[in-house]
Amino acid sequence: MESEGTSLSKVREANWPAVLFFIHIHLLSFYGIWLVIFEAKWMTLLLLVVLSLVAVLGVTAGAHRLWAHGAYKASTGLRIALMIFQTLAGQGTIYDWVQYHRLHHATFATDADPFDYRRGFGYAHVIARLRKLSPLQEKLKSEIDMSDLDNDPVVVFQSKAYWIMYGILFVLLPLNAPLEYWNDSILSAVFVIGFVRYLVILHASWLVESGICVWGLQPGEKCPPDSNWLFILTKTFWPHYHYMMPYDYKSDEYGTYDSGCTTAFIRVWAALNLATDLKTIDTPVLQKALAEAAKSKRPIQTCLDEAVSKQSLPAGHYLQRG
């Protein structure tokens, strides 16, 4: 007799509103890119870069590392700032983003994973965004523990006021700035600050789940890869490490470790004592675990868990800053 979970359908239907929405975003962005090259003023381009970087930090340092994985603790002021940054990303509420991402980690590399990287970059990066969750995935998502976010007043406030904040922070203020302060055209405001900005933020944010297809080593793949991609991309094991130790604040979303902009951003606030309890694993612990895995032929995850437990660090090592 099948259990309730195994009897639920795994079929994901197309999410047609999302399909149409993303098609229009991409098509309209082509004209915006033409304006970026030939017509938009430099201040508009600077605003495009600043707003995009701030929004991506809201996803990586905020929704991903702080709220989804608890890689560090942030003061109330920093949490409010990151909440505003995340609103500027236009990715939905922090609560919904985190619940979806925790489902991804809980089901990673299985048929229930919403962004199953085994099906290729195209699926993980784009196609998965155009489909609804299957009944099985909806059930699994409803079982994700979200009690920590339920008790976070900053997250609760954003969930209640999201669409008002979205309209003001994401749409009205950014689109008004080029018109009000440096007299750029309406077309530049709408297509560059509107559509191109959203296109950049979307793909940068989507790489949080699909980046393992870009930078992660595939089973049996050589390191460095035996192809011309070596001159463009560096393949590493770090994307896989993130799924083994997701609470490590130094795991970059874009294929590196301990050297990304988000890690530097967190360290700046840690130096000011606004970010505390930065979780990581000491390098010697990692080295011993990897050596043990190579020697014993056991799974790396098992060896990492054992190494961490021997160090009395069941919830991740707290690297004290300040």
With pLDDT > 90 as the criterion, what percentage of the chain qualifies? 73
Q: What is the pLDDT of residues 109-158, one digit of tens each?
A: 999 999 999 999 999 999 999 999 999 999 999 999 999 999 999 999 99
- 8 A C-beta contact, residue 43 and residue 174: no
Where along the chain do its domains lie? 4-217+261-275
CA 97 – CA 27 distance, rounded (Å): 25
CA 224 to chain centre: 25
CA 318 – CA 322 distance, rounded (Å): 13
pLDDT of residue 2 exceeding 50: no
With pLDDT > 70 as the criterion, what percentage of the chain qualifies? 92
CA 31 – CA 134 distance, rounded (Å): 35
Q: Which token pair is 198?
A: 């959203």
- The length of the chain in residues reads 322
Burial of 65 from C-beta contacts in 10 A (0-12 / 13-18 / 19+): buried
CA 117 – CA 66 distance, rounded (Å): 23
Angle subtended at Cα 240 by Cα 239 and Cα 241, rounded to the nearest 5 degrees: 90
The pLDDT-based confidence of 61 (bands split at 50, 70, 90) is very high
**φ/ψ of residue 280, rounded to 5:** -160, 180
**φ/ψ of residue 251, rounded to 5:** -75, 115
pLDDT of residue 294 exceeding 80: no
Per-residue model confidence (pLDDT) at position 249: 95
CA 281 – CA 94 distance, rounded (Å): 26
Per-residue model confidence (pLDDT) at position 290: 73
The string of DSSP codes covering 36-76 is HHHT--HHHHHHHHHHHHHHHHIIIIIIIIIIIT--SEE-H
CA 319 – CA 283 distance, rounded (Å): 12
Q: What is the pLDDT of residues 5-54, one digit of tens each?
A: 557 888 999 999 999 999 999 999 999 999 999 999 999 999 999 999 99
Q: What is the pLDDT of residues 73-99, one digit of tens each?
A: 999 999 999 999 999 999 999 999 999
Rank 167-176, 279-288, 296-305, 313-322 by mean pLDDT and report only the highest.
167-176
